[in-house]
């Protein structure tokens, strides 16, 4: 079976493609390779996937293209007759959405609507797509649950992800497309994004440069290691929501529509200053700290209630922050030849 992964040169897309290749699938990857962060890292991921696919004798085919190009998507679906699609392509970043909102409308909304349209006109078994913990906005009640009302996003990025969930629901309701949306909570690990905290902190500490600490360090994040994300994604991909499926406690999933929304997090939030201390301990070097006010569009705390997901896929993330940071720093030093 050929599986489509959009955003396949991205952090999560890369790791998922590698897992699916290992499981015996042929993987079709699509990514526009935009310059939001270092394109060389994206090319390095693709090179790794190409080598890995040859090593295990499975096929990885890559197309450099935008999902906003619906004619390309129509031809791709016609050529490969996908049964399963994972849409991870999106313009990422809360802070960047303040500066460049048009990029989020183009990729996250127009692009996703194209994905839904081509899925509607195919024999698709399951669409899995990336949402975000950002949809919870400024909600103070912790942990965040899928039952909570999320109609007050505090960034355009968050609004675009909530829009994806609503669009997917309408297509599932109208056309019976089985779809599962996943609200990711601060994913980190080897091959991670350079705009994320762990990457930025590691790079700055190694280079003796100051790190920027927002909200003067009074923040907490539900850091979720990439291996736990990929295991969850793989299980979700193979657990297809059905119209007559038994309803669960997830308010977005209780109607007779083949549609699910789940949190994916570690359910063990870590204070930001403890996270930084762990990085310092593993690197063996103290950070130069620059304490700043909260940035526009950001939130103080995230904490995932993953009860519904655990019930659905019989899996709970288990990687400790200490182990996850160690794995990332080892990769970083090797990839960037740090001695």
Catalytic residue positions? 157
Residues 207-222: b if buried by 16+ CB within 10 A, e if exposed: eeeebebbbeeebbbb
């Amino acid at each position: 079976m050929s599986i489509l992964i959009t955003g396949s040169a991205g952090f999560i897309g890369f790791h998922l493609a590698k897992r699916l290749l290992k499981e015996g699938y042929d993987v079709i990857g699509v990514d526009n390779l935009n310059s939001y962060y270092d394109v060389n890292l994206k090319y390095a991921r693709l090179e790794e996937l190409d080598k890995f696919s040859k090593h295990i004798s499975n096929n990885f085919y890559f197309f450099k293209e935008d999902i906003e190009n619906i004619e390309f998507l129509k031809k791709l679906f016609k050529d490969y007759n996908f049964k399963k699609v994972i849409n991870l392509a999106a313009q990422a970043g809360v802070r960047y959405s303040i500066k460049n909102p048009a990029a989020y409308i183009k990729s996250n909304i127009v692009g996703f609507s194209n994905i839904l349209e081509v899925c509607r006109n195919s024999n698709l078994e399951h669409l899995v797509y990336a949402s975000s913990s950002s949809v919870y906005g400024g909600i103070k009640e912790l942990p965040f649950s899928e039952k909570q009302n999320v109609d007050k996003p505090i960034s355009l990025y968050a609004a675009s992800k909530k829009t994806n969930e609503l669009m997917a629901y309408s297509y599932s309701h109208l056309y019976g497309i089985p779809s599962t949306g996943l609200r990711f909570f601060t994913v980190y690990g080897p091959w991670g994004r350079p705009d994320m905290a762990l990457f930025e902190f590691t790079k700055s500490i190694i280079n003796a440069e100051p790190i920027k600490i927002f909200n003067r360090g009074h923040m907490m994040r539900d850091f979720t290691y990439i291996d736990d994300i990929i295991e969850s994604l793989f299980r979700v991909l193979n657990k297809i929501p059905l119209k007559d499926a038994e309803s669960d406690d997830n308010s977005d999933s209780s109607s007779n529509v083949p549609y699910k929304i789940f949190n994916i997090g570690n359910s063990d939030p870590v204070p930001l200053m403890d996270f930084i201390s762990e990085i310092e301990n593993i690197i063996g070097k103290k950070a130069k700290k620059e304490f700043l006010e909260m940035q526009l569009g950001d939130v103080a705390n995230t904490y995932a209630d993953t009860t519904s997901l655990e019930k659905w896929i019989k899996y709970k993330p288990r990687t400790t922050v200490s182990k996850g940071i160690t794995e990332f720093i080892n990769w970083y030093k090797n990839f960037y030849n740090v001695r």
